[in-house]
Structure 1
Amino acid sequence: MDFTQSFRIRYPIIMAPMFLVSNEAMVKAAMDNEIAGTFPTLNFRKEGELKTVLENLNAYKAQLNGKQGNYGVNLIVQKTNPLYVKHLEECVNAKVPFYITSLGNPREVINAAHSYGAKVLCDVTNLHHAAKAAKEGCDGFIAVATGAGGHAGPYPMHILVPALQREFPDKCIIAAGGIATGQQIASALILGAKGVSIGTRFIASNEATVSNEYKQAIVDYGMEDIVLTERLSGTPSNIINTPAAKKIGYKQNWIERILNNNSRTRKYFKMLVQLRGMKKLENAIKPGSYKQLWEAGQSVEMVHEISSIDDIIHRLVAELQAEIKTVSTWKI
């Protein structure tokens, strides 16, 4: 699959869906710059919000005047997502161009999307989960490597991407985790990825509506300040190691582990943990919040300023083009 052609974008970059960060303005800016902008549907939980955003994005996409920009949505397909069924229906009605699925069986999304020609990429962190998604007929994978912001995988990009390419040569592989420069994009493409998904770099953007403290933290903190915690969603998630992060801790206690592993209590316990974690994160991103509980990936190491999405993408593309030119001169 030719990723850029199939997904109707010019550059092989997805602005990753970021919980409580991605917004309509960011997605429009991505489309303006001819990449794919995405957002979690859970960012729009009030009645009518998602429907309105999808209508706005479809109208905006129709007026791009020849530009090759596109958008997609991220759906949490676990049963613990109470809005999953409703959000999928609204996305299908709006004929969303493509989907990224996370944390569950993507079968319903794949069938619904393929009914009108949309594409589906599934978040995977290992070959086992990739095999399940491939069996359901997904179009490709978001290869979530170690160092990704939010839910991260255990394997580095330089292992996960080639392994997926070897096992699933017919699938489109998008590298995610630890990518914030054109050089890193080039590295992913050399490995065999068809494109990349970048999140953390776009948190430090003018268009992001999170607090200035959060944006500045992306600039000020480094790769050694990123830690995995199980306390926000029950699934290991990368956050900045602020005092608030240290306070909530990184591992579930023994009672939580029992509830999480018991077949009778697992669903409801995970739902409780996720709702509680969402509330904590929502409070933390608000301007003036003292809690400082922020999701981010190890690529904070590569972020040195807050700037517009236009400038970020222009720099990424220029750096990528420079790297491709350099590689073309190699003599081996």
Structure 2
Amino acid sequence: MKISNKMTQELNIEQPIIMAPMFLVSNEAMMKAAIESGMMGVFPSLNFRNEGELENVLNNLKEYKETHPEFSGNYGVNLIVQRSNPLYEKHLKICIDHKVPFYITSLGNPKPVIDLAHSYGAKVYCDVTNIDHATKCAKLGCDGFIAVGQGAGGHAGPSPLHLLVPSLKYHFPEIPIVAAGGIANGKGILSALSLGAMGVSIGTRFINSTESSVSNAYKQGIIDAKMEDIVLTEKLSGTPCNIINTPYAKKLGYKQNWFEKLLSTNKTTKKYFKMLVQINGMKKLEDAIRPNNYKTLWCAGQSVELINDILPTKEITERLLRELDEAYELLQQELLAVNLSK
């Protein structure tokens, strides 16, 4: 089944799939594999925080794309646009200087990204979890929405995709929608497309790719976990974030105490307190992905329920597309059977 729509055409990709940006997981090898597989590979700029790292990976990806015209994928960057991100302005300038072709913005006002990206023809999709935020992003001129629903890894939304995507489609019929949350097989892709999405964003499935450099324990944790093992925590960034409910996560707790909530909402302190929470959270997560670390804080979505192996990205993508074809054919057969029975 060949899918070509406004999203795939504008983003210059063959498949309607975005490899979701994952903090401390997404790496250069995964982005190159996404490009080879015909997808859009996106990484958080915060994965490359040391001096010169972001410039280096952007140079490498641009060169890889240019020297492999036979590959039908593309690459982009995820920017946390909250004021509490101390590297936001620096990373945005680096990305603009390197003419990154695609951006996903999260957790703040995307206007500077949209304006600068559009100055050279790049596209900007905004993470949204409700109609109010989507309305603000649409008025600012965003090119698409990442509809983040229940069950997504990392910063999940409160609404199920079967409500969020059709609602966005109704209010913004001309803006491409990408469904994110709980998708790990072809049936999930077909379901999202049937709701009105033009594509899907898949993260957790690609943590268990061979190109992913997280610890084997993390990957095994995804295989062992079930959907009920995914819990929301406020302890890592101040914003509810989905993780695997490991013993260490239980020990750490999931909710901010009353004093932490006070600091995170007070006009005077919230910027700096959120920055402190995020820095501490990043350090905890960075420690957790390393081998032989008992402080297991592993971000993942509820799609762990459907993940049972570790495969190269290309094989994962080929399986997803094969499953999509099979799911579509099965649906046609079932609809035909219903019609014949009438």
Scaled by the length of structure 2, what TM-score is found? 0.96
2:312 corresponds to: 308
Runs of 4 or more consecutive aligned structure 1 residues displaced over 4 Å after TM superposition: none
Deviation at 1:322, TM superposition (A): 1.5
**1:181 matched to 2:185:** yes
- Which string of whole-angstrom CA distances, capped at 9 and with x for unpartnered residues, describes residues 81-108 of structure 1? 1111111111111111100000100000
SS in structure 2 of the partner of residue 151 of structure 1: coil
2:43 corresponds to: 39
Match for 2:118 among 114, 136, 139? Answer: 114
Q: Distance in 2 between matches of 1:193 and 1:59?
A: 31
Match for 1:274 among 273, 278, 286? Answer: 278
Q: Distance in 2 between matches of 1:115 and 1:328?
A: 44
Deviation at 1:248, TM superposition (A): 1.1
Question: Residues 12-27 of structure 1 correspond to what in structure 2 (within 5 A)?
Answer: 12-27=16-31
1:255 corresponds to: 259
1:211 corresponds to: 215
Deviation at 1:170, TM superposition (A): 1.3
SS in structure 2 of the partner of residue 62 of structure 1: helix
Aligned residues: 332
1:162 corresponds to: 166
1:95 corresponds to: 99
Q: Distance in 2 between matches of 1:51 and 1:6?
A: 24
1:58 corresponds to: 62
Q: Distance in 1 between matches of 2:261 and 2:252?
A: 16
1:130 corresponds to: 134
Q: Distance in 2 between matches of 1:137 and 1:328?
A: 38
Deviation at 1:68, TM superposition (A): 1.4
Q: Distance in 2 between matches of 1:173 and 1:252?
A: 32
Root-mean-square deviation (CA), in Å?
0.9
Match for 1:238 among 226, 239, 242? Answer: 242
Q: Distance in 2 between matches of 1:286 and 1:309?
A: 21
- Which string of whole-angstrom CA distances, capped at 9 and with x for unpartnered residues, describes residues 2-37 of structure 1? 111111111100000000000000000011011111
2:199 corresponds to: 195
Q: Distance in 2 between matches of 1:318 and 1:62?
A: 28
- Which string of whole-angstrom CA distances, capped at 9 and with x for unpartnered residues, describes residues 159-215 of structure 1? 000000001111110000000001100000000000000000001111111100001
Q: Distance in 1 between matches of 2:326 and 2:76?
A: 28
SS in structure 1 of the partner of residue 67 of structure 2: coil
Letter in 1 for 2:53: E
Q: Distance in 2 between matches of 1:231 and 1:261?
A: 15
Q: Distance in 2 between matches of 1:64 and 1:249?
A: 47
Letter in 2 for 1:272: L
Q: Distance in 2 between matches of 1:114 and 1:244?
A: 44
Identity of aligned residues (%): 64
Deviation at 1:66, TM superposition (A): 2.8
Deviation at 1:323, TM superposition (A): 1.7
Q: Distance in 1 between matches of 2:323 and 2:101?
A: 28
Q: Distance in 1 between matches of 2:257 and 2:9?
A: 48
Q: Distance in 2 between matches of 1:243 and 1:120?
A: 38
Q: Distance in 2 between matches of 1:65 and 1:321?
A: 26
Q: Distance in 1 between matches of 2:196 and 2:109?
A: 26
Q: Distance in 1 between matches of 2:310 and 2:8?
A: 27
Q: Distance in 2 between matches of 1:324 and 1:95?
A: 38
Match for 1:73 among 60, 74, 77? Answer: 77
Deviation at 1:261, TM superposition (A): 1.1
1:223 corresponds to: 227
